[in-house]
Structure 1
Amino acid sequence: MELDRQVRIVFLIAFLTTLAGELSITPFNGQDFRFALGTSVFLFLLLLFPYVSWTISGLITALFILVFRVGLDAASFPFHGFSLTESLANHVPSSFFYFFFAVGLRILRRDDPEFIPFRLGLYISLVDFSSNIVELLIRHLLSEGVEFSPRLVAYLMIVALFRSYFILGLYNSLSIHRLRTQHIEQQKRIEQMLQVGTGLYGETLYLQKSMDHIEQITARSYDLYRRLKEMNHPELSRQALDISQQIHEVKKDSQRILAGLMNLVDRESTMEMKLSEVMDFVARANGKYAEMLHKKVRIHCLVEMDYTTTEYVPLLTLLNNLTANAVEAISEEGTITLELHGNSAETIFRVIDTGSGIHPGDMSILFEGGFTTKFNERGVAATGIGLSHVRDIVQSLNGYTRVQSRPGETIFTIVLSTYELVKKGE
């Protein structure tokens, strides 16, 4: 299948070059030597399809051009007469030009695989110039006398330089556009992976909490079993033991799930990100979230310090949570400002929104598990674990949280240890 595709591309190169070769100028009066658009098209297509054989492409293109031009001469027989020998003498040199040009480029690619643009342009110009000289020599041997002069050599070199750098510029522009497109697609995939990673990290924290509760319940149920047994309640003690064993099985299953999640989170954390990149990702992700909620929210980032950290997953988790809360606190239109500053001892994040604010009575219980002000359309309360996760993440990084709120402005300040964020990134 791959071979068939390459064969089709080689014939496509030959066909397009042959057609483009008919658009030409003849610089020397009375001679069939000409500069054709075909050379530019041929060079561009070879650069565009580097995985096909350039030597074979040159050979097939040379045959296509020879057969096509001799065929045109034969088709004009009723008007100008036709001599096969004369026609071959006119067009064989042009065919040799394309073959020699392709072979020269193939040698160039073998000896200089890096393809540095400026140096490559000089090499291609030299191959172009040499191919024109070969064509003129063959034309001289077959039919015409060609007078070589400094003016002719300079003319051929100028055309070769212009043609080479023009096609290289066109090809590089296309390559840059292709790379930008690939970069955008790669950026989207990275953002999706980061969203998954931060989600997994949050679920890992929640599962770790559940594991602690399960451990406590297991111990209490087993203690209940012992007490009932000592009180001589065999039936109740067996039920308590059975419950304890079932809870233990749930604990083992949860441990396996937690181990898998921790493995994924640890694998994600082997990468590094700059804090400015974390802020930018949070701003873009929550900008899309605001659009999904049909809100006009402007999110600004103010970054006054920056460094690289491997702790970007917990940072993304807590900042995403706070920023998403800020988006939800804004009724229809507002502004969110993400600030980052600090020093060698502390790294300070702030999330400032122009939402409705927090009720003073809720400030003392804001970070407690289960506290929520969110209800769905059926009146069912949310889990209220988001801010408790934020608290736990901040504490794990040896930091603390401050909250200031009034109607029209809420400020969440996260103060973290710079050492904790930097040490794993070094």
Structure 2
Amino acid sequence: MNPFDSPFRVSLGSAVFVLGLVAFSSLPPLVIGASTGAVVVGFRVFLDVLTGETSTSESLWIHLPAAGYYISFAAMAAMVHFRRQMAAPIRAGVMGAALDFLANGCELAIRYGMGESFPFSGHMLVVLSLFAILRSFCVIGVYNMWMTKHVRSLAEARKEELERLMMVNSGLYEEMVYLQKSMALMEDMTRQSYDLYSRLVEGKPVEPRIALDLAEHIHETKKDMQRIFAGLSKLIGRQSGRGRIPIAELCAMVIRANEKYASLSGKAITFSYHGQIDLATDQLYPLLSVLNNLVSNAVEAIRKNGAVELRARLEGNGLVIEVEDDGPGISADDIAWIFQPGFTTKYDRRGNPSTGIGLTHARDISQALGGHLQLVKSEPGQTVFRFVVPTSRLLEAQTDAFQNEHPPVPPQGAHLV
């Protein structure tokens, strides 16, 4: 509209500009104002040239003051922090109307200074005020409708996420019950297996029923583990496929698992890994078994606060991984016995001894891989275990027979030396 029968015009296009000024909060207001002013002037000049009504220079002279509206509005909006007022719609509408009125006044002042004449009257002020109010509250209305829709979308998304988390939590609680049952069953099986081993070593008669009971318990545990794995896979939403894994990532897995174990035990332990090794392996389960035994033993040895460090390096044709902790160390009398089956210095709260086969199991896995496990140093404040395995074995594909013979050992403390 041309309310004063002159090149000065008002339109709802300015409302779109104000909406963009609010929506694109990442851009400075003056950048938006100057860009919009340049585009508006260029478009109007293009239309005049296209219709052939005026020359390019004359059209540019006529429409150049229009950029003053957008630049002045943006400058004033930046000064009063107009974007922050959008949380209060009425106040933002009034402030927007005032800025619109003043910006129109700036454009009229520019045009007046360039020689255009306007009939300044109360009617002109009323027209400018009405258009300012109309455009400002139009912007506020559209903005709030958009925000309302956005908030509703977020609320729906959060509701769906909350429902999903509740289902996950319910599923995890169910799996935890089965896992606790399996842990208790495996602890009993470990003790029964060691008792069977002791009787066989001593040449004492063994009832066949004992072996059958163990087989039944193992079968039940296997079924529980399958059910737990299926349940967790469904909750996570993907099947976990095992392939080659870098040594650094494997050590990180061990550290993450034992960080949770230490936290659950009420201990403040700092874990670290040092090693620059470009080596990946299929031997995930046996390596996890050995490292989890060593690191969880270190966690159990530390009383309250301490540190556990994993170091990996290539030495000759072998991979060397050392696990060091700053716990109290192993007494000199016990060092010669730590790899013997059944030897333990740990007891639970009820006074029951651990089965003492954790380090024996880790040593056997090391030897099965063609390597070895040894205690390098143990004194108060420093205990170091060294695990060495040939790199040629790490590059081999892990066979199912080996997996079945040496399953992964989780970081549990009840059955580790």
Report the TM range for the smaller structure's normalisation.
Answer: 0.3 to 0.5
Question: TM (normalized to structure 1)?
Answer: 0.45
Question: TM (normalized to structure 2)?
Answer: 0.46
* Greater fraction helix: 1
